[in-house]
Amino acid sequence: EAGVVQSPRYKIIEKKQPVAFWCNPISGHNTLYWYRQNLGQGPELLIRYENEEAVDDSQLPKDRFSAERLKGVDSTLKIQPAELGDSAVYLCASRQVETQYFGPGTRLLVL
């Protein structure tokens, strides 16, 4: 069974530029999560989707971050414009019953 797929794996941009991350969850997993992991920290939730509905986006900085999951399968997370503090690893996960499975992450560096 294929795992959670994320792209790109690495991204380097200059501040104020836009950036987008893509995630394809494990087939059949209706719940999808985006997390952000800063260096030396555990992942922190940004947003949770149940099918195509964002049921918890309370931790998403809405002034510059947006996300979508139009057909209830793959999802895109966007930052516009990026700031230096956005440098982190962005992780996507999908859930089966109680357990979440993570993708490899996208490492973002904002210069």
Partner 1 sequence: DQQVKQNSPSLSVQEGRISILNCDYTNSMFDYFLWYKKYPAEGPTFLISISSIKDKNEDGRFTVFLNKSAKHLSLHIVPSQPGDSAVYFCAASEVNSGYELNFGKGTSLLVTP
Q: Which of 19, 21, 24, 33 binds partner 1 (CB under 8 A)?
A: 33
Q: Which residue has the tokens 């800063």?
A: 38
Cβ nearer to partner 1, comparing 33 with 65: 33
Q: What is the DSSP letter of 25?
A: -
CA distance 7 to 22: 5
Toward partner 1, which CB reaches closer, 93 or 108? Answer: 93
SS (H, E, C) 67-104: EECCCCCCEEEEECCCCHHHCEEEEEEEEECCEEEECC
Smallest gap, in angstroms, from Cβ of residue 83 to partner 1?
23
Closest approach of Cβ 54 to partner 1, in Å?
11
**Binding residues vs partner 1 (CB under 8 A):** 4, 6, 31, 33, 35, 40-45, 48, 50, 55-56, 91, 93, 95, 98-105, 107
